[in-house]
Chain A
């Protein structure tokens, strides 16, 4: 109803401004969402967005188009066409891209300088392809040494394998007789792969269900998100390390020397002991249902105060998520928090990239699932957002560091820090309920001299749980309310001297 009233009231202004931004409630004064005009006739389900060295945006779309966008003249131009569900671009130069499509990683290059690609060269296709609809491929991303990484979606139990496939079929990669669970009948479905500079594609890490988003942080750690479903109680962010298994069993049949038969038939505790848990869990229906590409804020402040943290898209909500990580007991773990909700942002936030000017560009997609189409950008206005900068585990609770000094009276009131914890089950069933949901009382609060850090002592801390914190009406010393009041910390490991 509210929208209707506004739209009638503002009808006269509609001529001058875009309907989308008017109808959205604009509450965030630190970040502004802008919508990019897409070319007529384009079904702009966006598979990737990147920037060329000359400052143009390059994007690919699910019907196979690759287009460039001049951010100054606002002109779109076709660079390549005919690709099969392209979902990732690595820019080599203004005239050369590596593009991940269904059948292969392809070098797409303009060799005669007319601005249109004329060479489509295979970089690697050394992985299986069954033709199952869910065999999306992600990446490539490049490490500091020049190695490329790609991720291969498992095949969907909602579909099957085609009569003619590419690669050797291993029937053990599927749970027989069951409908629904994802599977891996062809080599390396469900794996992260590493393409060395020698051109050889090697298996790197296993256990992925639907890793629609891979990326590095500034320290060179490799991350992948995955999607809630069978064996994945809630969507995780994985810190991907060589040789590790991240939980979805089908892919294990392609592990070198695998001799334990159908991995779906192994007892769950055995699989559980083999797996590496998510560094961060995104509670389903609370933070994200379908997280996408992690990009690291490398803008040195041009995008605000979160340099070095990860920004991650979400398909199902008008939301971008932020992740902060720390090393505890030698492993990365940390917290996720909404970065931006609404304010004109659409759903389907599938691919993200920072522009040379420090704005964040977002390509949207749906492709049969919940989402949207088009491209938007988020611009930092220069006003520091009132927000949690970081959440760190301590021996007895958590330290919250804020971007701005806080009003002491509200920041030291335990009523303003409501914790609850819960965990998700590792199981073949689709998703997981939240188990052992309990409120966790805050027993002590201290605030630092600069009023930016609040140290909270909790009545108990348990590893293996998500700690969800809801903040009350905390204000900065200048009276600003926080942009986000919900944050979830994934406690895999306690600080070594924690005693409870």
Chain B
């Protein structure tokens, strides 16, 4: 019995070794992740087509040079398209995988043609076929042209463009450079300026601000406070702006401050969780002055770069406060503090209602204190 079992296992292994499996998935932006591959004439193949996109796709392998004809024939199916999985009846279609819905997969087993050549594969859902395709090279020597010169793959997949590689960490430096060269807007942003973004270390209602002098900060409209600040750059929004997938704006530079308090302002020493309400911002010489309420009391906060380029000056005004105001800090937040008014009691600054009408806090990076 044991002997028989091991023979079966051996056979299965052999089987798996002789039939090669090609895996194709879908990238954001109507692209197959595998844009070309090579097979031997007459080679047996398993093709697994999985769809991690959020719309449906099919996959057809056509005769050499027949991709556009097949795409146009699929379009002509009109209202019969859905029930035929957008697969036209055509001698140019060699093999086809019907519509695969999001998060599903289908497989195809086939034997590669004996005739050497470039066999296109394409999604023929309406509109997809003009950009969503790839090439199966059938040749015994395995040669393919340089990626950048390959006319059989979509132009944006030829060498040098990593934007569709689907991996966010490879070639990060290359991408940053590309972003800097490419025009981001119909104007050149001049600091100070704002991006509302998804960014790690804040709520989804974050506001990122670029300041003159290569300083930047993230003020969070979801929690009504300055969350963190950095120097040496602003943001890389290249992933975020693609629109699809859970991605964040990336901080360019080094974070030197991160708020560690429950909340930096309190109106009494009782430490009760304050009721916060974000109201908006007003631009003063393009610098945003944030407006929010703490337990119904208006607070205005304007953040400017310190002239030495080593930190931020936060100017608060709380015109109607009637109680003592505390400004709270934490020793591990990365900065040293100086205040224009009030008196320090440990890590907290105590201000009289009159002092709190308008006061400034200067935050300076600690030596070597990158967080």
Contacts and interface: CB of A to CB of B under 8 A. Distances in A.
A316 B75 CA distance: 12
A41 B54 CA distance: 29
A65 B237 CA distance: 14
Interface in A306-361: 316-317, 347
Nearest to A488: B79
A130 interface: yes
A394 to B, nearest CB: 24
Interface string B86-106: 100000000000000111100
Contact of A131 (B126, B204, B278, B279): B204
Interface in B71-90: 78-79, 81-83, 86
Interface in A64-110: 64-65, 67, 76, 78, 81-85, 101-104, 106-107
B357 to A, nearest CB: 22
Interface residues of B, number: 55
Given A84-B196, A129-B205, A131-B198, A367 B243 contact: yes
Dominant SS among interface residues on chain A: loop
A430 interface: yes
B128 interface: yes
Q: Which of B86, B103, B184, B247 is packed against the most chain A CB atoms within 10 Å?
A: B103
B185 A63 contact: yes
A78 to B, nearest CB: 6
B194 interface: yes
Contacts of A22: none
B36 to A, nearest CB: 22
B247 A76 contact: no
A132 interface: yes
Contact of A179 (B103, B125, B183): B103
Contacts of B81: 285-286
Contacts of A19: none
A43 interface: yes
Contacts of B203: 129, 131, 164-166
A121 B86 CA distance: 48
B221 A132 contact: no
Contacts of A82: 193-196
A389 interface: no
Interface in B22-36: 28-30
A26 interface: no
Interface stretch (A153-161, A236-244, A472-480): A153-161
Interface in A344-385: 347, 367-370
A468 B205 CA distance: 45
A486 interface: yes
B185 A103 contact: no
B127 interface: yes
A486 B128 CA distance: 22
A370 B127 CA distance: 8
A493 interface: no
A391 to B, nearest CB: 16
A63 B184 contact: yes
A103 B195 contact: no
A107 B126 contact: no
A81 B52 contact: no
B29 A286 contact: no
Interface in A426-457: 429-431, 433-434, 437
A171 interface: no
Interface string A126-157: 00011111100000000000000000000011
B322 interface: no
B202 interface: yes
Contacts of A103: 196, 204-205, 221-222
A462 interface: no
A395 interface: no
A58 B363 CA distance: 40
A81 B185 contact: yes
Interface stretch (B40-48, B167-175, B211-219, B280-288): B280-288
Given A103-B205, A133-B243, A81 B193 contact: yes
Given A64-B196, A81-B193, A133 B204 contact: no
Contacts of A63: 184-185, 237, 241
A225 interface: no
A289 B126 contact: yes
Contacts of B196: 64, 82-84, 101-103
A320 to B, nearest CB: 15
B185 A122 contact: no
Interface in B200-255: 200, 202-205, 221-222, 237, 241-247
Contacts of A425: none
Nearest to A45: B243
A277 to B, nearest CB: 19
3 pairs of A and B residues whose beta carbons are closest in the complex: A368-B244, A367-B243, A82-B194
Interface of B: 28-30, 52, 54-56, 78-79, 81-83, 86, 101-104, 125-128, 183-187, 189, 193-198, 200, 202-205, 221-222, 237, 241-247, 278-283, 288
15 contacts: A40-B183, A81-B193, A82-B195, A103-B196, A103-B205, A103-B222, A111-B282, A117-B283, A285-B86, A316-B127, A368-B245, A433-B82, A434-B83, A468-B79, A470-B79
Given A119-B282, A166-B203, A430-B101, 12 more contacts: A45-B243, A62-B243, A65-B186, A81-B193, A82-B194, A102-B198, A120-B280, A129-B222, A164-B204, A284-B82, A347-B127, A470-B79
